[in-house]
Amino acid sequence: MIYLFNESYIPGATAVGIKFNDGVLLASEKRVAHGRFIASKNTNKVFSISKNTGAAFAGMIGDMQILAREISAHIKIRELDIKREMAPNSIAKLLSVIMFERRFAPYITQIILGGINGKASIYVLDPVGSVIPDEYASVGSGAEAAIGVIEAFYKNNMNEEEVKELAIKAIKAAIERDAGSGDGIDMLIIKKSGSNKESLKL
């Protein structure tokens, strides 16, 4: 019997992405749970994949780590070729192609890609490479709880502190309702001036 695609063995997760007036915020909780077993309480699911772009993942940990390294390598090669930074929409298209090529043996992960190139942008990708642009997004087993909070409080032109508070509130709501999410929050803030990562223990 193969358990890889059995829902009870796929790790739970909650990841969110929100645009704000100066950039984009990506955040995720830190738990890895396989069914009723908590495998880790300190896992990174938010990655910086280029100077101006990051990604938050939900799904199989190995798949998200390999995919983050693969897309980062492709970006570096492409930027050497074009002699400029890749825009987030181009990275989203490239990531979509990589995932679609693997559609018969897909990476078991959902992705929120966020970045800034003149203006902030967010894209959601599913395991077979569909790309959906949005103002904010949530993926993972706790997505329903998180997106409800974001939709209730999100407004245009929020500042960085407001978006941090909203992301924390959304992920905390998911943690309270989803056993596969918990143990802390990682946040990646990407702005024109650069990016920085923050962690919050719960």
Catalytic residue among 14, 43, 53, 109: 14
φ, ψ for residue 83, nearest 5 deg: 60, 35
Q: Which residues contact 121 (CB under 8 A, 6 or more apart)?
A: 19, 24, 88, 89, 114, 115, 133
The neighbouring-strand residues paired with 122 are 114, 134
Closest CA to 9 of 108, 127, 145, 115: 108
Q: Is 14 considered catalytic here?
A: yes
Q: Which residues belong to the active site?
A: 14
